[in-house]
Amino acid sequence: FSARGDFLRKWGSDGEGDGQFNAPLGIALGRQGNVYVLDSQNDRVQVFNSGGEFLTKWRVGTVPGLSEGPKGIAVDASGNVYLTEQGGRLELYSASGEFLRTLGDFGSGDGQFLVPLGVAVDAFLNVYVLDAGNGRVQVFSARGDFLRKWGSVGIGDGQFTFPWGIAVGEEGNVYVAGTLNNQVQVFSP
């Protein structure tokens, strides 16, 4: 859609081929205008230019037997791609799709996840992960060091009931969409 909401274009169809999708769950925009689509049931990321032309793809899910499917995607200013895995971790790939490392494991401690869903990256390359099962946001440095967390399960201010979407604005504010409590909460940097 344009800034006025006019329909511009669409691409894709059902399937496993290039430019086809099976349950796309997430979308992220790269620095050069490329569009990264998390094609969840095909266990891959597909990359397109802003006009919808297929550029490349790569498989995701690095730990055999533990991958429960990617759920969230974000791209940083360097082109690195971050994927949340429902199995309790965050995966990091280079702009070309080379696996770099995982972050976290299953649990409720600092740096652990119980159903990580949304992911976002700010201008300083800090990574924000929605840890839906634990009802919180966790923040990591670009190197993967745990920095801080906030939130708990519930419906009050600063609480989350299965949060799914997260975004960081240019001003640094963090926006969180709660799926089951039907609200968007905004937090200062």
pLDDT, tens digit, for every residue of 79-128? 999 999 877 889 999 988 999 998 888 999 999 999 999 999 999 999 99
**Residue 8 has what DSSP assignment?**
-
Contact in structure between 81 and 73 (CB atoms under 8 Å): yes
Q: Which residues of 157-175 are buried (b: 16+ CB within 10 A; e: fewer)?
A: eebbeebbbbebeeeeebe
Among 168, 169, 165, which residue's Cα sits nearest to residue 181?
165
pTM: predicted TM-score of the whole model, two decimal places: 0.90
Six-digit token pair at 97?
A: 């799709």
pLDDT tens-digit readout, 131-186: 999 999 999 998 899 999 999 999 899 999 888 899 999 999 999 998 787 889 99
The residue type found at 151 is G
| CA dist., res. 122 & res. 76, Å (int) | 8
Instruction: Quick: pLDDT tens for 39-73.
Output: 988 989 999 999 999 999 998 865 544 456 788 99
Task: Report the alpha-carbon distance of residue 106 to residue 115 in Å, rounded.
Answer: 8
Angle 178-83-86 from CA coordinates, rounded to 5°: 65
DSSP 42: G
